[in-house]
Amino acid sequence: MKVNFKLIPMMIIILTTVLLGGCGQEVAAPGSGEKEPVSLTVSAAGSLTDAIKEVINQYENENQGVNITLNLGSSGSLQQQIEQGAPVDVFISAAAEQMNALQDKGLILPETRVDVLENSVVLVVPGDSTIDGFDALLSGEVKQVGMGEPESVPAGRYGKEVLTHLGLWDKLQSKLVFAKDVRQVLNWVQTKNVDAGIVYLTDAKLFNDVKVVAAAPADSHSPVVYPAAVVKATKQTDAAKAFVNYLTSDKALEIFEKYGFSRAVN
């Protein structure tokens, strides 16, 4: 029997295709332009919770194949995680301080850093409270005032700046109780475990039975700015950059503004 060797290469190709098809594998055609699925981890300040979830959902819908895992926490905790080598692609902080620390250590790509949002600091009380402002915190009616831990929670640092500016920080030391994040402060206020709390306006708007009674004077604290940047250790640099760029797009900012944030001035 004679074998036609000219047919062997074609037979091999056919056999390979059949075998691959039988194994359920998909082979992308050369030049098909199909993109590989991309997974990103975004670490974001807890005060962004509801807004950033909606932004991510919209981004994934517009960019099929991109899957984003959201890691929420206080900016200080997230900073430490990145310093310890946590696999993070994008960091969104609630203050410049934590981003500055990472940049000084060479842990972010500085050319990707951008200020995305701004927020306001306010005093909140339970819905039926008669407390009407910061000075009222000195009254005997107020036993405890909740705020974020100033060393690790940006809202706490802003709160300390406000109370110091108003001459209340030293006078309120015995009344202050510190939380791990803004949401915990609001839970305390809502359940009346504290008589008042210092939080961001955007978070206050999301809680029932909590009312805003005063806004911190604009000159009483550092600007509440939310910077974002790509983490240097990312293995998805292009995808991470694309997401950071999206955060300042009109589509994303419309969502943030819906939750009470304002656009940062760069």
Q: Report residue 9 CA to chain centroid gap.
A: 55
The pLDDT score that the predictor gives to residue 3 is 42
The partner residues of 228 in beta bridges, in order of sequence, read: 92, 114
The pLDDT score that the predictor gives to residue 35 is 66
Q: In the chain, what are the domains?
A: 38-118+225-263 (3.40.190.10), 121-215 (3.40.190.10)
Query: Residues 6 or more apart from 195 whose CB is under 8 A from it?
Result: 125, 126, 129, 131, 141, 142, 143, 144, 145
Q: Specify the pairing of strand 66-73 against strand 224-230.
A: unpaired
Q: Report residue 109 CA to chain centroid gap.
A: 17
The pLDDT score that the predictor gives to residue 71 is 98
- Can you tell me whether residue 123 is helix, strand or coil? strand
The pLDDT score that the predictor gives to residue 152 is 87
* HSE toward the beta carbon, residue 30, CA cutoff 13 A: 0
Spell out, as residue ranges, where the chain has pLDDT lower than 50: 1-33
| Alpha carbons 211 and 146: distance in angstroms, whole number | 14
| Alpha carbons 243 and 260: distance in angstroms, whole number | 21
Please, are residues 158 and 221 in contact by the beta-carbon 8 Å criterion? Answer: yes
Encoding tokens for residue 103? Answer: 């940049």
The pLDDT score that the predictor gives to residue 34 is 56
The pLDDT score that the predictor gives to residue 10 is 39
| Alpha carbons 248 and 256: distance in angstroms, whole number | 10
